[in-house]
Structure 1
Amino acid sequence: MPRVARLRRSADFLALRQTSGRLGGRCFSVRYRANGLSLARLGLAVSRRVSKRAVERNRLKRLVRESFRRERALLPAFDILVIAQATAAGQPGDVLAGELQTLWRRLAALKPSEGAGTIVR
């Protein structure tokens, strides 16, 4: 994934945690915010609470990155933070990919002006 498509600065993550819209699923929750750029950017949060095993956490991150890479062109210009839930650990890849696909579709339906402070369930 190109460097410009990733959230790297702690200020970007902090802004998403403070003022952003939210989407939720069983295995992942998403925070999003309009970024004023021409492309969507991705940030990941997969903590040790999700799984003690680094192998499992890295697997989840790979799945999210690959799913985002495939759908990135269809997403509005948002900064997106995907937060893994503890229920994601141990789930089969097709279940996780299906939930991510649903979340990307819900995000694609939003307009960039709806990016901050909007809660969508």
Structure 2
Amino acid sequence: MNQLSDSRTALPLTFSKSLRLLEATDFQKIFDDAPFRASHQHFLILSRSNQLNIGRLGLVIAKKHLRLAVERNRFKRLIRESFRTRQHAFAGLDVIVLSRKGLENLTNAEFSQQLDQQWQRIFKKARQHRLRSQPQPQGE
């Protein structure tokens, strides 16, 4: 019985519609001004702060880079799953992941490892930005 009550208090790790960037204007804000970037040979992550308590994810997986729909869907699934399991770390951030040429050559494990490394770079940059933008205590 105790285990049941513990699972109810845990925050759910779903990927609901509220966690997705859906509006073109939201995408454009990030494309116009993305202070947090993490670049990899096969993909690019752009991010900026939002005024929400949640993180939101947008995907731009181009047919130009991944010809087969099954490949595009595979990478979208991997990105969404990675975001979903770390969604609390993305609080206050809007993130877009863009594909680049050669992405299809990565295995799921290789891609997941590289994506994790790039997420960490984004988190670090966002954390540093928050620390710099906090008001400094005034000395006497």
Q: Distance in 2 between matches of 1:112 and 1:106?
A: 10
RMSD: 1.7
Task: Kindly provide the amino acid, as one letter, of the partner of residue 15 in structure 1.
Answer: K
Q: Deviations over 1:67-100 (max 9, x none)?
A: 1111111224110000011121131001100011
Please report how far the alpha carbon of residue 112 of structure 1 lies from its aligned counterpart in structure 2 after TM superposition: 6.5
Aligned position for 1:78: 93
Structure 1 range deviating more: 24-33 or 4-13 = 24-33
Residue 18 (structure 1) aligned with residue 32 (structure 2)? yes
- Identify unmatched segments of 5+ residues in structure 2: 1-14, 131-140
Q: Distance in 2 between matches of 1:44 and 1:37?
A: 19
Q: 2:70 aligns with which of 30, 51, 55?
A: 55
Task: Kindly provide the amino acid, as one letter, of the partner of residue 63 in structure 1.
Answer: L
- Identify unmatched segments of 5+ residues in structure 1: 116-121
Aligned position for 2:23: 9
TM-score (structure 2 length as normaliser):
0.76
TM-score (structure 1 length as normaliser):
0.87
Q: Deviations over 1:1-50 (max 9, x none)?
A: 11111000000011111111221012210110111101110000001111
Q: Whose helix fraction is larger, Structure 1's or Structure 2's?
A: 2
Residue 43 (structure 1) aligned with residue 46 (structure 2)? no
Q: Which has the larger radius of gyration?
A: 2
Q: 1:72 to 1:28 in 2, by over 3 A?
A: same
Q: 2:46 aligns with which of 31, 37, 53?
A: 31
Residue 92 (structure 1) aligned with residue 107 (structure 2)? yes
The structure with higher relative contact order (CA 8 Å, sep 6+) is 1
How many pairs were matched up?
115
Q: 1:111 to 1:91 in 2, by over 3 A?
A: closer
Percent identity of paired positions between Structure 1 and Structure 2: 28
